[in-house]
């Protein structure tokens, strides 16, 4: 493959495997002026060779549409890449050692930032106390978000930076207290640090074949400067596209979303919290706590927001994880449809982020109301199973109902896959594997369906039906992969067997069986412009 050069007008890629429904046996593709111009066979490619500006010899590599990660917190992802990562800590003691070493290595940082602890996986299940963190940091300000980013442990020195009274007990901070300490921590991040974090996150995305990210910002998550700075950076520098969502309610949210250049007043507009932090809102109490979580918005607030967005021609969207929160969203959107008309609500393609605890009734309502389910299969890989966090929080019976991707697809609900990075890492092929090999077998979907949800699904979630697919006329957002044999995988072996027959005309994809190596990205192109080339290629 060629070295990175100034982008030519017309490129021919040949001698590879091109994943395209236009030709399931395509081995070549022509890109012109930022769009796919042609896909076809090697024999026909010879006719284009003389008229192009560059020929890329794929040497058997696979070309696919670039991935879209439909739920990302870009700055936080970059800070996690450069800050303290506790996701690998196997115990409280190990986490405290990592905190101590990180503090010693960063003497100039005004606030120490870390992420990813998960006490549910530690022996004893206890998070660090404030006194333990004070000792580990030498009394410096420290913010450590839990893996779900819905609670945090902090040092006394950080609490002292927050106006007003905050809980002084050792329990992790949630809800408003958490939002307050997070705002204080991130206020200490300088503009150059923030920009560097954003560059780091976007570069990481590009290196994984991700061509678009949906940034989920909002006043309780980031800041207006953070959000507009990211959109500006993405517009000026080569890299993945960024579609921004701003999570603020009602008419004020509509106006602010427009002012900031957002695609919608959507994303993490919190109806509830998260299961790991006991703040997801449930119909029945947690199995390991005597309450039902936290409700931030009710059905009436949801309805008012959906009406405001629908009438303004913007997408609405909500963060809803618990079954009671999902019910509130469904009831609210249905009430909005009664006011504005169902057709207008469906046409707006409003979104629900996470949507983990669904019932057959709420799945059917998503389909009826045209709601897109923006979901994160890696959550199941991380927290599912008989011994996982879901089972701890909910008991086995309820835990087995979570993330029912197959039921959503059967009902015709549009799926868009993402990571919620830094909650789970940017990892598109791993995300597809998690959906295809869901810990609960009846929720599994085919690799092809999962791949579609992580490519075309993200584009459809922003109202574009002409992208995320390598056919003539589509945007030239694609990635080139080194991978093994291409197969067709489905949860039912009978389907997999007949589909691998060449006569089926189904384009193959990498074998994602757990334990096998995932594909390695060699090149990522966005709008015909190369944004990543693996060193040595």
Residue-wise pLDDT for 139-157, tens only, equals: 999 999 998 888 899 999 9
Domain end call among 188, 220, 255: 188
Specify the pLDDT at position 26: 95
Question: Is the domain of 246 the same as that of 327?
Answer: yes
Question: Is the domain of 453 the same as that of 527?
Answer: no
Question: Is the domain of 475 the same as that of 365?
Answer: no
Question: Is the domain of 172 the same as that of 225?
Answer: no
The boundaries of the domain holding residue 44 are 10-66+470-483+519-533
Of 142, 147, 174, 136, nearest to 76 (Cα)?
Answer: 147
Q: Does 360 fall in a domain?
A: yes
Of 253, 88, 73, nearest to 149 (Cα)?
Answer: 73
Q: How many domains does the chain have?
A: 3
Regions in the chain scoring below 70 on pLDDT: 1-8, 491-505
d(CA 327, CA 43): 55
Domain end call among 433, 462, 491: 462
Specify the pLDDT at position 501: 46
Specify the pLDDT at position 494: 40
Q: Does 505 fall in a domain?
A: no
Q: Does 499 fall in a domain?
A: no
d(CA 297, CA 71): 21
Question: Is the domain of 355 the same as that of 449?
Answer: yes
The CATH number that applies at residue 102 is 3.10.310.70
- Cα torsion 506, 510, 512, 516: sign: positive
The CATH number that applies at residue 220 is 3.20.20.140
Question: Is the domain of 16 the same as that of 90?
Answer: no
Question: Is the domain of 182 the same as that of 195?
Answer: no
Q: Report how far Cα 137 is from the mean position of its chain's Cα atoms.
A: 32
Specify the pLDDT at position 112: 92
Q: Does 508 fall in a domain?
A: no
Q: Are 12 and 56 in contact (CB under 8 A)?
A: yes
Specify the pLDDT at position 491: 64
Quick one: CA torsion of 59, 522, 426, 489, rounded to 10 degrees? 0
Q: Does 494 fall in a domain?
A: no
Question: Is the domain of 207 the same as that of 351?
Answer: yes
Of 23, 13, 17, nearest to 506 (Cα)?
Answer: 23
The CATH number that applies at residue 61 is 2.30.40.10
Alpha helices (runs of H) in 317-371, residue ranges in sequence order: 323-340, 342-348, 360-369
pLDDT digits (tens, 9 = 90+) for 54-66: 999 999 999 999 9
Q: Does 507 fall in a domain?
A: no
Question: Is the domain of 120 the same as that of 151?
Answer: yes
Q: Does 286 fall in a domain?
A: yes
Question: Is the domain of 172 the same as that of 195?
Answer: no
Domain end call among 188, 223, 240: 188
- Cα torsion 300, 301, 303, 304: sign: positive
Question: Is the domain of 417 the same as that of 321?
Answer: yes
Q: Does 403 fall in a domain?
A: yes
**Which phi-psi region, left, alpha or beta, contains residue 47 (left: φ > 0; alpha: ψ -120 to 50)?**
alpha
Question: Is the domain of 201 the same as that of 304?
Answer: yes
């Amino acid at each position: 493959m060629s070295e990175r050069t100034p982008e030519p007008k017309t490129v021919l890629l040949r001698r590879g495997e091109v994943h395209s429904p236009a030709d399931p046996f395509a081995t070549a593709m022509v890109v012109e002026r930022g769009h796919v111009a042609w896909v076809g066979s090697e024999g026909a490619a010879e006719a284009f060779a003389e008229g192009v500006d560059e020929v890329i010899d794929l040497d058997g590599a696979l070309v696919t549409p670039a991935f879209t990660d439909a739920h990302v917190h870009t700055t936080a992802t970059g800070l996690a890449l450069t800050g303290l990562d506790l996701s690998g800590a196997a115990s409280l003691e190990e986490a405290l050692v990592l905190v101590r070493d990180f503090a010693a290595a960063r003497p100039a940082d005004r606030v120490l930032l870390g992420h990813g602890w998960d006490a549910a996986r530690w022996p004893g299940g206890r998070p660090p106390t404030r006194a333990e963190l004070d000792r580990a940091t030498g009394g410096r300000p420290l913010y450590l978000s839990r893996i779900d980013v819905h609670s945090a442990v902090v040092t006394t020195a950080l609490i002292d930076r927050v106006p007003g009274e905050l809980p002084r007990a050792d329990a992790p901070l949630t809800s408003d207290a958490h939002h307050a300490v997070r705002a204080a921590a991130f206020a200490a991040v300088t503009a150059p640090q923030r920009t560097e974090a954003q560059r780091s996150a976007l570069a990481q995305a590009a290196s994984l074949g991700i061509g678009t990210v949906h940034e989920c910002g909002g006043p309780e998550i980031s800041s207006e400067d953070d959000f507009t700075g990211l959109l500006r950076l993405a517009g000026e520098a080569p890299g993945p596209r960024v579609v921004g969502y701003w999570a603020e309610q009602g008419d004020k949210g509509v106006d602010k979303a427009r002012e900031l250049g957002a695609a919608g007043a959507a994303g993490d507009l919190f109806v509830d919290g998260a299961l790991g932090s006991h703040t997801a809102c449930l119909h029945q109490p947690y199995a390991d706590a005597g309450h039902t979580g936290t409700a931030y918005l009710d059905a009436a607030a949801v309805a008012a927001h959906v009406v405001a967005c629908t009438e303004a021609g913007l997408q609405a969207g909500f963060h809803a994880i618990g079954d009671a929160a999902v019910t509130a969203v469904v009831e609210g959107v249905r009430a909005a449809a009664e006011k504005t008309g169902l057709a207008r609500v469906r046409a707006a393609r409003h979104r629900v982020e996470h949507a983990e605890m669904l019932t057959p009734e709420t799945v059917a309502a998503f389909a009826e109301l045209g709601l897109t389910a923006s979901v994160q299969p890696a959550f199941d890989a991380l927290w599912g199973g008989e011994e996982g966090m879901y089972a701890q929080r909910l008991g086995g019976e309820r835990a087995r109902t979570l993330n029912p991707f197959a039921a959503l697809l059967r009902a015709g609900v549009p799926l868009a896959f993402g990571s919620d990075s830094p909650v789970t890492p940017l990892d598109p092929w791993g995300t597809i594997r998690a959906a295809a090999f869901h810990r609960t077998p009846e929720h599994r979907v085919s690799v092809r369906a999962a791949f579609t949800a992580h490519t075309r699904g993200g584009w459809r979630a922003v109202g574009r039906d002409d992208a995320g697919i390598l056919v003539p006329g589509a945007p030239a957002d694609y990635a080139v992969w080194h991978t093994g044999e291409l197969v067709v995988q489905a949860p039912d072996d009978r389907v997999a067997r007949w589909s691998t027959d060449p006569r089926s005309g189904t384009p193959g994809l990498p074998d994602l069986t757990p334990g096998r190596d995932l594909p390695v990205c060699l090149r990522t192109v966005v709008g015909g412009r190369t944004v990543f080339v693996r060193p040595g290629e």
